[in-house]
Amino acid sequence: MKILVTGCFGFIGYNFINSILKNNSGEFLLLGIDSLSSPYSRLNYKNLGESEYFKFYEEDICNISNLDFSNKDQIDLVINFAAESHVDTSIYNPSLFIKSNILGVNNLLNFCVTNKINNFIQISTDEVYGSTETEFYNESQILNPSSPYSASKASADMICNSYKTTFGLNIKTIRPANNYGIYQQPEKLIPFSISNLVEKKELEIYGDGKNIRHWLSVKDTVSAVKFIMEKGEQNEIYNIGSDEYLTNNDVARHLIKIFKLDESSIKYIEDRPGHDHRYAVNFDKIKSLGWSPNYNFENSLPETVEWYLANETWWKKDLENIRKNRLKRF
């Protein structure tokens, strides 16, 4: 099977291609696309190594028509991991998200129609449902995004739905919960907190820290994508969650415990605008097909911390710019 993987050197995309290539004996040929706009994606590209089962094209998905793939008609599946994903950035630069997450997806779908590629997997997010105080949203829930980021992802989901109906594409949409794990850029809560604690700075938490999320290991997300790729039904949406609902305060306490610190290491800062209080998804649909998460937070977080401690040169690559942007974020 020939698979076109976009955003192949981003957080989830890179974990995905590493997993496929590690266990691949020739059944999968991966064609990777990434703009390499981030210093972290450029490092991942340099670190990947050679593989006869992977070919890379440096390009933004907004310009995919510029690429000349050989044997385009043999591409069996497109998996779109490419996205701008940091909510804070979407607040002070929403246009970036409209371009990548909406127009970019539209370009990919047009590419599929033009080249008769019938199978497409869109990696979305649970944030498209918006906040809920008590419910666990299933896949039929009306979308109610709050941030420019989640709105751009919800828009992409709707465009995907239109291409199912209008052009007959077979599209599976995956909505994972809050991911954590190795190769996550240090603008996100867990790696940013690790970087602060390593450098003897305070661990910063927005608002009162009571915001609740499903926390999902990226290893489980990768396994779910592979599972849906092989066993998911066409033109269906799948939530990917876990049974671990933690507040940001819970996450902070887990981290300071690993670093053998106390709660004086936690600093509460001004909340971001429109910060959703609780995300929660019902993922019975994929569980009914035989998938379930394998990694729990308490055991996986120390492994994640250990990786970041062993790879300081990776996460420090653009850390100062991330900190500067964090200060001007709103």
* Active site (catalytic) residues: 126-127, 149
DSSP-derived letter for residue 180 is E
Q: What is the spatial distance between Cα 265 and Cα 226, in angstroms, rounded to a whole number? A: 39
Longest CA pairwise span in the chain (Å):
59
Q: Which two tokens stand for residue 204?
A: 């910063």
Nearest to 224 by CA among 15, 5, 41, 2: 15
The closest of 12, 10, 7, 3 to 177, measured between CA atoms, is 12
Residues 198, 309: contact at Cβ < 8 Å? yes
CA 42 to chain centre: 17
Q: Where are the beta strands (DSSP E) in 130-210?
A: 170-176, 178-180, 203-206
Q: What residue has token string 């308490």?
A: 298
Which has the closest alpha carbon to 45: 79, 54, 319?
54
Residue tagged 């690790």 (tokens): 194
Contacts of 100 (CB under 8 A, 6+ apart): 60, 61, 62, 82, 83, 84, 152
